[in-house]
Amino acid sequence: NAGVIQTPRHKVTGKGQEATLWCEPISGHSAVFWYRQTIVQGLEFLTYFRNQAPIDDSGMPKERFSAQMPNQSHSTLKIQSTQPQDSAVYLCASSLDRISNERLFFGHGTKLSVL
């Protein structure tokens, strides 16, 4: 099992450009999470899918961020019109089931740098 796979590992965008981040969860896991990590804010929850359905997007900045899970093998996080403050490590995690306090398995993250 390769674990949670995130691509790309690093992405550099210019201010105002779009960035799409990809995540492949562990096969058989029904819950997929997106987090953002910075030195200042630490780990921030963005959004969560269960069985591909969006369940909670309370952490998502509403205007420029969107996430999808078109099938059980991948999820995407899209950031439109990127801004320097979007620079962070974006982490994807999966678990067997959100409801039962299952441990999260994280990918290595995508480091986004907005110039």
Partner 1 sequence: QEKVQQSPESLIVPEGAMVSLNCSFSDSASQSIWWYQQHPGKGPKALISIFSNGNKKEGRLTVYLNRASLHVSLHIKDSQPSDSAVYLCAVNSNYQLIWGSGTKLIIKP
Contact footprint for partner 1 (CB under 8 A)? 4, 42-43, 45, 56, 91, 93, 98-99, 101, 103-109
| 45-75 residues labelled b (16+ CB within 10 A) or e (exposed) | ebbbbbeeeeeebeebeeeebbbebeeeebb
Instruction: Please report how close the Cβ of residue 19 comes to partner 1 at its closest, in angstroms.
Output: 19
- Pick 17 or 55: Cβ nearer partner 1: 55
- Pick 4 or 21: Cβ nearer partner 1: 4
59 neighbors 53 (Cβ within 8 angstroms): no
- Pick 58 or 71: Cβ nearer partner 1: 58
Neighbours of 21 (CB within 10 A): 21
Angle at 87 between CA 91 and CA 1, to 5 degrees: 20
Instruction: Please report how close the Cβ of residue 36 comes to partner 1 at its closest, in angstroms.
Output: 11
Instruction: Please report how close the Cβ of residue 58 comes to partner 1 at its closest, in angstroms.
Output: 9
